[in-house]
């Protein structure tokens, strides 16, 4: 099975950079996903890493180290609208996606 850990909450300032960490233990690795979920809304896909290294997509980047079982999501030039829950997730063999408990990010002015 999967075990996924991430911090419960973080606070950052508008315009700053924030890094949200995720550690995972899997029985078989099939990639690592990040989703964003605003309060009361559906989760939306942010990124997918299957190889080691950094994947950059605009203000958001995601990093993966398979040997360390570690990933992070990096958000640059923070905006108030980035206040949301960020969910780290890994697929289990058979197809289902297992989520961490989510990191609630609050962006302050």
Partner 1 sequence: NAGVMQNPRHLVRRRGQEARLRCSPMKGHSHVYWYRQLPEEGLKFMVYLQKENIIDESGMPKERFSAEFPKEGPSILRIQQVVRGDSAAYFCASSPEGRTGELFFGEGSRLTVL
- Which one of 75, 87, 105, 107 is in contact with partner 1 (CB under 8 A)? 87
Q: What is the contact mask toward partner 1 in residues 57 to 86, using x (rule: CB under 8 A)? A: ------------------------------
Contact between 29 and partner 1 per CB under 8 A: no
DSSP code of residue 80: G
Contact between 100 and partner 1 per CB under 8 A: yes
Binding site for partner 1 (CB under 8 A): 30-31, 33, 41-45, 48, 87, 89-91, 94-102, 104
């Amino acid at each position: 099975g999967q075990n996924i850990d991430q911090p419960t909450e973080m606070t950052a300032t508008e315009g700053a950079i924030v890094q949200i960490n995720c550690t995972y233990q899997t029985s078989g690795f099939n990639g690592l996903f990040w989703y964003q979920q605003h309060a009361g809304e559906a989760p939306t896909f942010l990124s997918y890493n299957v190889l080691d290294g950094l994947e950059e997509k605009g203000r958001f980047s995601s990093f993966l180290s398979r040997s360390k079982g570690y990933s992070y999501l990096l958000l640059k030039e923070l905006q108030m609208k980035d206040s949301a829950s960020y969910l780290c997730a890994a697929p289990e063999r058979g197809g289902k996606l297992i989520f961490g408990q989510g990191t609630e990010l609050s962006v302050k002015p």
